[in-house]
Amino acid sequence: MANCPTPHINAVPADFAKTVLMPGDPLRAKYIAETYLENIKQVNSVRNMLGFTGEYKGVPVSVMGSGMGMPSIGIYSYELFNFFGVENIIRVGTAGGMCDNVKVRDVVIGMGACTDSSFAKQFNLPGDFAPIASYSLLEPCVNKAKEMQLNFKVGNVLSTDVFYGDDADLPIALRTTPLWAKMGVLAVEMESAALYMNAARAGKNALGIFTVSDHLITGEKTTAEERQNSFTDMMKLALETAISV
């Protein structure tokens, strides 16, 4: 395509598979590629946002970091959908548990993504848009999670723009947890609403799969090393979903 390479991705459309896994951390992208893919090729290194393409069980799959927050994943997912011919993006990331029935290290599959962001305003809609996952990815993902006998939940997550807020001693998600939890929101993260909106606008597919890395009610948490390397159930589930579509 004429827009390739972009200021953020130094590649051409042929470098990417039709399905891309997107962890926030580019080192997690590197770990997934090196651990699970064969015949891998690095396809992006701009701003150290590492991207790779290889094969999982003989099927081409790409994996690339998205960075943190909706503005960052908004840029990368927009370019992948609109300039590089990518059809499916599966976000694999961490989230903070917000409900009693969600435990640390559980897998959460994001059927929808509530948000406090103004990202949707750019579309000039006459109301509030509800960002949801694509059923063509959600259904095989849930089926695979059952097959793998994972501890998982399916439901709404919260994509927030703000981590600390004005009160730097108390993360904003912790202050608002009871309000979202009463509506059944399972966990909080910072990217999926923008990903779901970009997919909807481009006529493409998106899904968020998360490992609960910490819990806003119990205070339990995992280490940074665990978050980078150890959430293998989520990674395998995303890869199995990727080759099912």
Task: Dump pLDDT digits (tens) for 12-49.
Answer: 999 999 999 999 999 999 999 999 999 999 999 999 99
Looking at the chain, list the stretches that DSSP marks H as alpha helix, in order from N- to C-terminal side.
26-36, 70-82, 135-147, 172-181, 192-202, 224-229, 232-242
**8 Å CB contact between 12 and 4:** yes
Q: How far is CA 172 from each of CA 81, 176, 178, 208, rounded to the nearest angstrom?
A: 31, 6, 12, 22
**8 Å CB contact between 188 and 162:** no
Torsion angles phi and psi, residue 54, rounded to 5? -155, -155
Residues of the chain with pLDDT under 50: none
Is 214 tagged catalytic? yes
What does the pLDDT read at residue 224?
77
Q: Give 158-177 pLDDT, tens digit per residue.
A: 999 988 877 656 666 667 78
Q: Coil, strand or helix: which one is 228?
A: helix
What does the pLDDT read at residue 230?
61
Q: Which residues pair with 157 in a beta bridge?
A: 113, 187
What does the pLDDT read at residue 146?
98
Torsion angles phi and psi, residue 210, rounded to 5? -130, 150
Q: Which residues pair with 94 in a beta bridge?
A: 211
Largest CA distance in the chain: 51
Selected catalytic residue, list 15, 25, 128, 214:
214
In sequence order, which residues have a C-beta less than 8 Å from that of residue 66 and are 6 or more positions away? Answer: 22, 23, 24, 49, 72, 73, 76, 77, 91, 191, 195
| Number of DSSP helices (H) and strands (E) in the chain, helices first | 7, 9
The class of domain 13-242 in CATH terms is alpha beta
What does the pLDDT read at residue 229?
61
What does the pLDDT read at residue 221?
87
Read off the pTM.
0.95
